A and B are shown apart, each in its own frame.
Chain A
Amino acid sequence: MSTLAADKPGRPWAPLMSRLFAVACGACMLFCLALLGALLYKIFGFGWDRLNTAFITGKPSFMPAKSGILVPLVGSLYLIGLTAAIAVPVGVGAAVYLEEYAPLSRWRTIIQTNIANLAGVPSIVYGILGLGLFVRTIGLGRSVVAGALTMSLVVLPIVILSAQEALRAVPGTIRQASYALGATRWQTIWYQLLPASLPGILTGVILSLSRALGEAAPLVAIGVATVVRQVPENLFTDEFTALPLQIFYWTDMPDEAFHEAAAAAIIVLLTVLIGMNALAVFLRYKFGKRIQW
């Protein structure tokens, strides 16, 4: 395999093998894309007919044909709104601290290693943490706030790591220029570094929120209900449910009509997610080109 002489006698097949290998690798890639295509095609084909305004604005029902997704949809929007309100300031703050304040100390190494490891912790484990901490110890119950706090912990490592990367991409000359003009550390961060790294930070925020939107496992673990009849009014006390949980619940039903409803709900979920993803790609593309140092 590692003999490096293509034109040696005895290896007449080498060029052909090389060509075949390229084709095989290309086929792998095409297969991956085909999987994505097939998945989207099947789901859209299965759920498209079920998708209408009555479905989106409908309340849950035990009759699959009458079921709607208003309650989980609103629950999901509350959930990611609140998650953003918690995770973005804390995550960006932590990133700023690590990049701009923390000296190259052991303290920083510890936090950094810790964040890298947190990023790999299964989301259901965060759910168990949320159950023990927010639901039981603090007593928030199965409310939107408890769900959002748990979800914030899930996405925090993603927000921190992407914001750190964005801050690191701002050239050091900008920092020096600002400090040399008598700006304080926070002024330099607020007026120069955060605006310059905003596109990168936003991209990370969008990706982390799309993760929060699709996650169901932590919500299951904290005991969020699967069937809720009313849109929550009090975020601290009322029960809520979320779109991925509703999909989980419907998929688990043996009745095929519920599977159609699940497919329609998946279409709604994926449309939002792909829209968010496209926005992130767009931001990265647009601002990545505009600011050239």
Chain B
Amino acid sequence: MAITARTTAPLMRGSESAPVGRDQMSETLSSQPPVRPPAMRTEAGAKPRTAAEINKLPKKVTATDVNFFYGEHQALHGINLGVPEHHVTALIGPSGCGKSTFLRCLNRMNDMIEGTRVEGTILLDDQDIYRPRTDVVELRKRVGMVFQKSNPFPKTIYENVAYGPRVAGVRKREVLNEIVEKCLIQSALFDEVKDRLDTSALQLSGGQQQRLCIARALATGPDVLLMDEPASALDPKSTARVEDLIFELKHTYTIVIVTHNMQQAARVSDQTAFFYEGHLVEAGPTNELFTKPKEKQTEEYITGRFG
């Protein structure tokens, strides 16, 4: 994936209420990627600028020596990564590098695939989520997930959002109403759908569907939100809205996002981790990784020499 191929996307959405720095950033990134730092977001929640700053932050998720196997094939090799609380961590790398596999380890979605095996520890706060007798259902309520392709249930908008609380045992209509409204507001969808909560979610546009999926994930009250290329199937305008949303959500949630799009990683994340062939090559503050990559592979990837 060459970075230059992406230049049109951010430029097309000039009318967005995005901070001024954005367009500058994408231009600078696309012309001479590693040389100048990506522009800082101006809103609250300033990005940590150095590795020392990142390390000082409290960790929400800590992966230690994680190996992952699909049958005989080892897909992840000794991954060590801390995810700071209330920040966005982006996982980047070429297709098949293990970034999505790693993401799915964090809420144990890989359990659903036959013949997979995990080694090492992954702590959520201070609990190992792979300890025997861990309640996977409880884990998934606390670690929400948004998928690459929006996948609303073939039900109403309301029922989509209310599903998580419902399966968790919430029965009272007023409570559900409150949760649905809050989550739709949080995911910036409420104004568009408030008059048609009882219509099928499948009638929404692709971008709206994806924000609905985000609202749905928020409704279980998670601490961590995992996003697997949430914008890859969206048009530029919808992508921008989702990115703005991520930026808002990180005040409340800890976010881990997998992305193919390095500019997106640069825009939304505080920490970036570069995966290659199942190894975590390098992780660090986003601006550092993009401007002064320590590893040659990282530099080659972000300058578009492969991938």
- Where the two chains meet, the residues of A that have a C-beta atom closer than 8 Å to any C-beta of B are 103-104, 171, 173-184, 187, 191-192, 195-196, 291-293
How many B residues face the partner with a CB closer than 8 A? 29
* 7 pairs of A and B residues whose beta carbons are closest in the complex: A182-B141, A173-B151, A180-B145, A181-B164, A183-B167, A182-B140, A187-B167
Write the nearest CB–CB distance from A173 to chain B, whole angstroms. 4
CB pair A179–B138 under 8 Å, yes or no, is no
Known: A103-B114, A191-B167. A180 touches B217 (CB 8 A): yes
CB pair B167–A180 under 8 Å, yes or no, is no
Q: Which of B149, B154, B155, B220 contacts A182 (CB 8 A)?
A: B220
CB pair B163–A191 under 8 Å, yes or no, is yes
CB pair B154–A178 under 8 Å, yes or no, is no
Residue of A nearest to B226 (CB): A180
CB neighbours (8 Å) of B137 from chain A are 182-184
Interface residue? B20 (CB, 8 A):
no
Residue of B nearest to A104 (CB): B114
- Which B residues between 208 and 250 are near A, CB-CB below 8 angstroms? 213, 216-217, 219-220
Residue of B nearest to A173 (CB): B151
CB pair A179–B153 under 8 Å, yes or no, is no
Residue of A nearest to B112 (CB): A179
CB pair B213–A291 under 8 Å, yes or no, is no
Given contacts A174-B153, A177-B213, A291-B202, 13 further A-B contacts (CB under 8 A): A103-B114, A173-B147, A177-B152, A179-B109, A180-B109, A180-B145, A181-B167, A181-B217, A181-B219, A181-B220, A182-B220, A183-B163, A183-B164
Q: How far is the CA of A180 from the CA of B147 in the complex (A)?
A: 10
- What does the 1/0 interface line of B73-111 toward A look like (CB < 8 Å)? 000000000000000000000000000000000010100
Write the nearest CB–CB distance from A193 to chain B, whole angstroms. 10
Q: How far is the CA of A181 from the CA of B138 in the complex (A)?
A: 9
Write the nearest CB–CB distance from B171 to chain A, whole angstroms. 14
CB neighbours (8 Å) of B153 from chain A are 174, 177-178, 192
CB pair A184–B217 under 8 Å, yes or no, is no
Residue of B nearest to A177 (CB): B151
Q: Which of B107, B138, B154 contacts A180 (CB 8 A)?
A: B107
- What does the 1/0 interface line of B147-168 toward A look like (CB < 8 Å)? 1010111110000000110111
Known: A182-B140, A182-B141, A191-B163. A174 touches B220 (CB 8 A): no
CB pair A173–B163 under 8 Å, yes or no, is no
- Which B residues between 127 and 153 are near A, CB-CB below 8 angstroms? 137-141, 144-145, 147, 149, 151-153
CB neighbours (8 Å) of B138 from chain A are 182
CB pair A176–B167 under 8 Å, yes or no, is no
Residue of A nearest to B151 (CB): A173
Write the nearest CB–CB distance from B192 to chain A, whole angstroms. 21
